[in-house]
């Protein structure tokens, strides 16, 4: 999740290609003082490399800060590149200073890097340094998507007086535990590992033997060598469709001759490990009392935890004025792809219509209000929550999320015992079945259900995120399919989708995976969201409780979230299986550690649905 958002204001999903950008640099140099490779000291003596751009003249200005683990060096292949110049020009032309800073241990920044392990005091020290500069008005705003957003929440909770506002986009990998979600920075979902971090750390983690620069280098020397040496690794390309299949998962990066860094240590960290609470993750015990503008994507890896954080901040701050200064946008796009929306926005193969917004104007209006003190009309023009409903393909507004007046509708799983495949007899019904035959399928971890689209990022060529027709995959016998009859009236489902399943297995441990599907009249079945639960954690992440063969257990699935209009003639569908690979790692069903195992066990898993075992999905129906 901390992937490729080097230009947070532009919020593109891809790295800006190395191209000569002298024109934008010359325009920037006309209006800005450019001060690169400024080594800002932290309290322990470590210095963080920072490029600063500020308006010429003697005035005082607020600062926009973007901190990142990625390379923002101005030179690539001997050519000056865009990276920071476009966003710096935008900021300076509006009367702001702009700074981009590397996390400790990354590129020219000193110290040791750890994934979200940077001391929170680095945030304090940077804010204090910027606020004390003679050109500063004492106010700093934070902006970024993914890696440039994830650190913002924990630092915001420290209440530094210089921090005036944040703009956090696609920030889920910075969220530890909040409400119903304990994903620990998106490392887990329901206790199953999200494999995106394997491919992300392959490209990002520091090798234990990486070269470092002397700590006494001057700014002038750093600027000079940056023209031809940028400390950036050039990782060989990996076919992740094959690489992810290697077992044990602990050795995947080693198997492709990757860098030796924090990955193996992270693989052994369980959801309740105390180390999750020692680094840079934000947890619900850390009050945020800073104005927050929160940007979420329906097809991001972390829409549920992100929305839950927004609600938690609003509902738990003691300062009601601060609760009133939290705003949320939910767009129908992939991770950090807000500005890739077009007049015909597509996520995967699904067209969701014109999903564009003027994010620049929204962002600058927000900062003008909080960092410059301008009495603008941001509050009058912007709803508390702006969300996009797919299916009807329109932006909507609300005072909260879920929407006021939402009604939860129960749809019960039912079948005659043959819900396997979309040709089976699985149903979703408004009436609870009195007596039903359970549905059983074989889960072989060596032949998992392959991920097809989904709410994902950062997995290289292994998964293309978004919504795709699942109907051919639904012919697999290890997928149970439950559908409503074609709808006679349209239904808008907006909010958190809750699911309770009753499960038994022949194994000590297994996974249950779930997808929410919109089935079109032509039979195409488009995925909207997905979740998973590792059953050893069904009673909570603070303990592991294994299963007894044949015994049925109640499983509360981690909630899904969406806003989708199911039009007349469409059907609401869920898929139930035990794998979604490589979106999530495979449960080898042994009851062992899983991350260090190479052999799996084939198990028979059963979904029960009857009066005694009322398996149900609860849909949030938006008020008409």
Summarize pLDDT for 198-211 with one digit per residue, the tens.
999 999 999 999 99
Cα 517 to chain centroid distance, Å, stands at 21
Res. 368 pLDDT band, cuts 50 70 90: very high
The answer to whether position 535 is within a domain reads yes
Among residues 365, 398, 431, the one where a domain terminates is: 398
The answer to whether position 528 is within a domain reads yes
| Stretch 203-226: mean pLDDT | 93
The answer to whether position 16 is within a domain reads no
The answer to whether position 6 is within a domain reads no
216 has pLDDT over 90? no
**Quick one: 174 and 223 in the same domain?**
yes
Q: How far apart are CA 525 and CA 523, in angstroms?
A: 6
Among residues 368, 398, 428, the one where a domain terminates is: 398
**Quick one: 304 and 322 in the same domain?**
yes
Q: How far apart are CA 250 and CA 258, in angstroms?
A: 12
pLDDT at 28: 95
pLDDT at 230: 85
The answer to whether position 121 is within a domain reads yes
DSSP string computed for 506-556: SSS--EEEEEEEEE-TTS-EEEEEEEEEEGGGTT-TT---PPPTT--EEEE
Domain span at residue 567? Answer: 407-621
CB burial string 41-74: b at 16+ within 10 A, e below = ebeeebbbbbbbbbbeeeeebbbbbbbbbbbbbb
**Quick one: 159 and 180 in the same domain?**
yes
CATH of the domain at 497: 2.60.120.260
Q: How many domains does the chain contain in total?
A: 2
CATH of the domain at 45: 3.40.50.1820
Q: H or E element: which one contains 360?
A: helix 359-371
Let me know: does 9 contact 90? Beta carbons within 8 Å.
yes
**Quick one: 296 and 414 in the same domain?**
no
Mean pLDDT of the chain: 94
Q: Name the pTM for this structure.
A: 0.95
20 has pLDDT over 60? no
Residue 227 burial (CB count, 10 A): 13
**Quick one: 95 and 185 in the same domain?**
yes
**Quick one: 376 and 461 in the same domain?**
no
| Stretch 547-562: mean pLDDT | 97
**Quick one: 364 and 452 in the same domain?**
no
Res. 80 pLDDT band, cuts 50 70 90: low
Res. 373 pLDDT band, cuts 50 70 90: very high
Q: Find out whether the peptide bond into 582 is cis, omega within 30 degrees of 0.
A: yes
**Quick one: 369 and 470 in the same domain?**
no
Res. 6 pLDDT band, cuts 50 70 90: very low
Residue 345 burial (CB count, 10 A): 21
Among residues 351, 377, 398, the one where a domain terminates is: 398
């Amino acid at each position: 999740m901390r992937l490729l958002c080097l230009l947070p204001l532009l919020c593109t999903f891809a790295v800006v290609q190395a191209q000569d950008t002298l024109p934008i640099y010359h325009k920037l140099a006309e209006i800005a003082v450019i001060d690169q490779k400024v080594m800002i000291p932290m309290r322990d003596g470590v210095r963080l490399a920072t490029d600063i751009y500020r308006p010429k003249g003697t005035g005082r200005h607020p600062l926009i800060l973007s901190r990142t683990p990625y390379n923002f060096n101005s030179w690539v292949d001997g050519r000056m590149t865009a990276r920071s110049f476009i966003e710096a020009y935008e900021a300076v032309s509006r009367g702001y200073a702009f700074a981009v800073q590397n996390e400790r241990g990354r590129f020219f920044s000193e110290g040791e890097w750890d994934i979200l392990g940077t001391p929170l005091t680095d945030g304090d020290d940077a804010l204090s340094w910027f606020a004390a500069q003679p050109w500063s008005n004492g106010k700093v705003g934070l902006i970024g998507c993914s890696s440039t957003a994830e650190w913002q929440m924990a630092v915001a909770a420290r209440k530094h007086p210089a921090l005036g506002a944040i703009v956090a986009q696609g920030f889920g990998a910075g969220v530890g535990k909040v409400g119903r979600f304990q994903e620990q920075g998106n490392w887990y979902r329901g206790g199953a590992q999200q494999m995106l971090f394997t491919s992300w750390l392959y490209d990002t983690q520091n090798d234990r033997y990486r070269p470092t620069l002397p700590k006494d280098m001057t700014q002038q020397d750093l600027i000079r060598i940056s023209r031809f040496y940028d400390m950036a690794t050039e990782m060989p390309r990996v076919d992740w469709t094959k690489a992810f299949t290697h077992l044990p998962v602990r050795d995947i990066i080693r198997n492709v001759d990757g860098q030796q860094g924090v990955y193996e240590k992270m693989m052994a960290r369980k959801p309740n490990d105390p180390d999750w609470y020692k680094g840079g993750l934000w947890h619900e015990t850390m009050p945020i009392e800073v104005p927050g503008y929160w940007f979420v994507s329906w097809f991001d890896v972390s829409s549920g935890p992100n929305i839950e954080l927004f609600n938690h901040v609003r509902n738990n701050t003691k300062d009601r004025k601060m609760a009133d200064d939290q705003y949320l946008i939910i767009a129908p796009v992939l991770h950090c792809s807000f500005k890739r929306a077009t007049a015909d926005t597509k996520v995967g193969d699904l067209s969701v219509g014109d999903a564009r917004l003027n994010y620049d104007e929204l962002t600058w209006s927000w900062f003008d209000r909080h960092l410059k003190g301008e009495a603008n009309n941001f509050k009058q023009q912007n709803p508390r929550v702006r969300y996009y409903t797919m299916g009807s393909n329109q932006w909507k507004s609300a005072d909260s999320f879920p929407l006021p007046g939402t009604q939860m509708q129960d749809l019960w799983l039912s079948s005659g015992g043959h819900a396997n495949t979309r040709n089976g007899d699985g149903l979703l019904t408004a009436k609870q079945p009195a007596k039903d035959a359970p549905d059983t399928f074989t889960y072989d971890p060596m032949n998992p259900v392959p991920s097809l689209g989904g709410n994902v990022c950062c997995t290289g060529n292994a998964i293309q995120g978004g919504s795709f027709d699942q109907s051919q995959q639904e012919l697999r016998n290890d997928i149970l399919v439950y559908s409503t009859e074609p709808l006679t009236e349209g239904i808008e489902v907006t909010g958190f989708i809750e699911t309770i399943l009753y499960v038994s297995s022949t194994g000590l441990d297994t996974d249950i995976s779930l997808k929410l599907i919109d089935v079109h009249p032509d039979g195409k079945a488009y995925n909207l969201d997905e979740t998973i639960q590792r059953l050893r954690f069904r009673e909570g992440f603070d303990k592991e409780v294994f299963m007894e063969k044949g015994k049925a257990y109640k499983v509360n699935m981690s909630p899904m979230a969406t806003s989708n209009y199911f039009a007349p003639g469409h059907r609401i569908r869920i898929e139930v299986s035990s794998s979604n690979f490589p979106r999530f790692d495979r449960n080898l069903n042994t009851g062992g550690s899983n991350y260090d195992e190479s052999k799996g066990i084939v198990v028979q898993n059963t979904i029960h649905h009857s009066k005694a075992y009322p398996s149900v999905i609860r849909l949030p129906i938006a008020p008409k």
